[in-house]
Each structure stands twice: as structure tokens, then as C-alpha cells.
Amino acid sequence: MIDMKWLREQEENQLRVQQAADQKGIKLSVAELLKLDEQRRLLLQDVEALRQKRNQLTQEISVLMREGKREQAEPVKQKVKEINEQLTGQENQLREVEAAYSELIMLVPNIVSEDTPVGASDQDNVVVRQIGEPPVFPFPFRDHVELGEMHQMIDIPRGVKTAGSRNYYLAGVGVQLHRAVQQLALDLLVKKGFTLLDVPLMVRTEALMNTAFFPLGKDQTFHITDENKWLVGTAEVPLVSYYSGETVDVTEPLKLAAASMCFRSEIGSAGKDVRGLYRVHQFAKVEQVILCKADLEVSERMHQEITANAEELLQLLELPYQVMAVCTGDMSQKTYKQYDIETWMPSRGAYGETHSSSNLLDFQARRSNIRYRDEDGNLQYCHTLNNTEVASPRILIPLLENHQLEDGSIAIPKALQPYMNGMERIELRK
């Protein structure tokens, strides 16, 4: 959420927010919002003035009645009646304006950083750096689906039979690998000072509104209608919500992490990435969330840190990847600055997104009402950041494909071997 005082103050701020809305593809008129804001504030003043006048007259009536001056009280009562009628009309009008204002303000996007590339889609994202070289196989390589079936670790047909499209089973060593990657990621974050939480996966609507996944992300979220709750698509929602409505101590940044199941409806991706594990309804993520002071230098440093954490994991997994500066048109409403990390996937003949890392400034904290006291004792909204440390089973795509050997076996990166009971290679069953 944007600070309306900041928005009202300067035309430059208004132009910046309007530009962010246009670039992010959000249908919003900042001019209309400011008009509603002005109407709302004027109506609120009128309503408060009428209520105050009514209270004064009501006290006057009470005094007159105690003194037995009933005749003198009658015209005052008539004035109160007129004020009540006027007040009813003003309150109704205020409710209408406030409803329109509330709907519009929830569409206001975060501004974007000056170094964010301008573009319309992910095709306009810019490579920041590439680490590692894609493998050149001296044999016909297999994709992760074929490898998974050969090793009886991935079963998509039974997943579809049981739960419909974009569902799957992991079995045997596939489950071991899936959990090993997550545990490696968690251990890495604990060493870096993150506090682990086991989080709720069903949340109230407010949690999704407060973390700015709603209203624009409703079509990607599974709704539990009888409970009026939603299944989260990322642990970011419950991690940030952990401190909602609280005043926190961010003398040192608060670092939280969670491993959780996640659910996404994938509305709008019909016919897209239909083969394999790239785009599924249910998956697991290890998520990083940081809350820090509202200091751009601090939050930029945290942004670089959480991105580096994800890169370190990929390096431990011995996978080639590239870091992308995400352009304006590929950003969400809440994002100020974002990096995506794409890992080389031989079956796609390209890098595929496996991680996302974002700085939201105080946009999310304003909605969630998470504040801290600065050096002068004044309340300020925190900056919040988030990053996907790893998402599985998507990470299994590059893990299996890049480490495959000619005979169909799969080499296990050295860092993962302790989590696989010392296994160095996944061999074909005889």
C-alpha cells in the first residue's frame, strides 16, 4: 500500500505511481483515486461536524429538560431531527465514496526501482550474470519425465488419475531427492541466521490482502468455500502475517524461513508447460522472508543477500544458472525490485525460472500494519523482502537432466550426498 500523504504531496509522485500501474498492466487512474480521497476527507469532515453539532444540541436539550423548560427544548429537538436527516444522507454518501476509494486503493501498485528494466513481459528481462556452463552431452539425453519413469521416481499418469491434470506422484528415491534438496536449503539458511517456522497453509482472506496477493491474485488461489479460507501459493503469506498488526524490533533484520507445501490454480496457463513437473498445482518451497528498517540501503543489501543465498544453493547443486533483472511488465503489484534466477534445463534447451527474489519496500508492511520504532522513537513501517530458496519438484528438472549419465544413471551432487544416505549415484534398478 502506498502512503496517501506521500501521493498527495507531489505531482511527481502521482506520475510515478501512474507509470508503475501502466507498466505493470494494472487498470488504475491515480487522478480518480485522488478525487475520491478528497471527497472522502471532505465528507468525513462534514459528518464529524454534524455529529459534534448534534451532540452539543443533545446536551442542550438535556439541560433544558432538567430545568423544566420543555417548550424551549422543542425547537432544539427539531434542529436535532434535521441534523439527523442530513447526517443520514452524508453518512450514506461517505460509505459509497469509501467503498469506491477502498476498492481503488487496493489496486495501487508499488513504485519500481530506477534500475528496473522497462519492458512488457519476461522476454524483456535482462541478464545480470551467468554462472556455470550448460552441459554438452556426447549422447542423446533424456528429459526428467523419461528419467523419472526409468527410475520409478516420478509417476504423472497416476497423479492425473487421482487428482487431475498438473498432478503427479513422487516415489522412492524421487521423494528422497525432493526432501534432500529442501533440507539442504533449510540447513543453509539456519547457518545464515534464519529462524525456521512451520506455517499454516490455509489462511484468511485478510492475510492475502495484507500481503498484497489479493485482490489481483485471486484467480491463482484455491478457495476453501465452506471455511472462507484459501490455500497459500507461498509461505511468504504466513511468514509475513506472523507479525501483522505488531510493532517489532528490527535493530537487526528479522530473518524467517519455512518449508511448506504450496498450491496454485495455474489459471491462464492452459496448454503451457503441460509436460512434466515445471508447472503443477501442488509443490513444496523453502521460502526466505526478511523484515528490516525502512532504509533503502539496508533493504537493498538484504535483497542482494537473499539472492546470494539462492545462488549458493544452486552452486552446491552444481547447476548452471543465470540471474535476471525482472522488467516492469513482468512484476507483480507489490514489487519494487525483483531478480529471477533461471536454471539450465536441457529438455527446454533454455534456462527456466526456479527462484524469485523481491524487495517490496514498505508496501506489504503498510497493508499488514507491521511497524518498528526508529532511533527517535517514531513508528515506521518495515521494509519486507522475500525469496524462493528452492522449489520442488521444479528443481528436480535441472537436477535430474543436468546430472544424467549415458547409461541412464544420475550423479548426485556432493553437497546432497549426506542427505541421500551417502548415495553418490542413482542407478537403474535391475
CATH label of the domain that carries residue 33: 1.10.287.40
356 part of the active site = yes
Q: Is 217 contained in some domain?
A: yes
279 part of the active site = yes
Q: Is 110 contained in some domain?
A: no
> Are residue 56 and residue 144 in the same domain, yes or no?
no
CATH of the domain at 387: 3.30.930.10
Write down the catalytic residue from 353, 366, 367, 392. 353
- Residue 31 is part of which domain span? 4-105
CA-nearest of 410, 139, 416, 149 to 277 is 149
Q: Is 115 contained in some domain?
A: no
- C-alpha–C-alpha distance, residues 367 and 359, integer Å: 15
C-alpha cell belonging to residue 340: 529471477
353 part of the active site = yes
- C-alpha–C-alpha distance, residues 303 and 411, integer Å: 32
Q: Is 112 contained in some domain?
A: no
C-alpha cell belonging to residue 364: 506489504
The domain total for the chain is 2
Cα separation values, 59 from 56, 65, 68, 88, Å: 5, 10, 14, 20
> Are residue 11 and residue 136 in the same domain, yes or no?
no
Domain limit, last residue, from 72, 105, 138: 105
> Are residue 389 and residue 252 in the same domain, yes or no?
yes
**Low-confidence residues in the chain, pLDDT < 70:** 268-271, 430
> Are residue 315 and residue 215 in the same domain, yes or no?
yes
> Are residue 169 and residue 63 in the same domain, yes or no?
no
Q: Is 126 contained in some domain?
A: yes
- C-alpha–C-alpha distance, residues 319 and 131, integer Å: 9
> Are residue 211 and residue 79 in the same domain, yes or no?
no
Q: Is 111 contained in some domain?
A: no
Q: Which residues, 6+ apart, have CB-to-CB distance to 213 below 8 Å?
A: 221, 233, 237
Q: Is 113 contained in some domain?
A: no
- C-alpha–C-alpha distance, residues 245 and 151, integer Å: 49
Residue 379: φ, ψ to 5°: -75, 130
Domain limit, last residue, from 62, 79, 105: 105
> Are residue 385 and residue 410 in the same domain, yes or no?
yes
> Are residue 57 and residue 185 in the same domain, yes or no?
no
> Are residue 93 and residue 135 in the same domain, yes or no?
no
Domain limit, last residue, from 41, 70, 105: 105
Write down the catalytic residue from 54, 142, 166, 264. 264
Write down the catalytic residue from 54, 166, 371, 394. 394
Q: Is 345 contained in some domain?
A: yes
Give the pLDDT score at 270: 64
C-alpha cell belonging to residue 124: 524483456
394 part of the active site = yes
> Are residue 263 and residue 336 in the same domain, yes or no?
yes
> Are residue 176 and residue 43 in the same domain, yes or no?
no
Give the pLDDT score at 354: 97
Write down the catalytic residue from 260, 299, 356, 368. 356
Give the pLDDT score at 269: 67
Write down the catalytic residue from 16, 41, 279, 373. 279
- The phi-psi region of residue 212 (left if phi > 0; otherwise alpha if psi is between -120 and 50; otherwise beta) is left
> Are residue 206 and residue 99 in the same domain, yes or no?
no
Give the pLDDT score at 395: 98
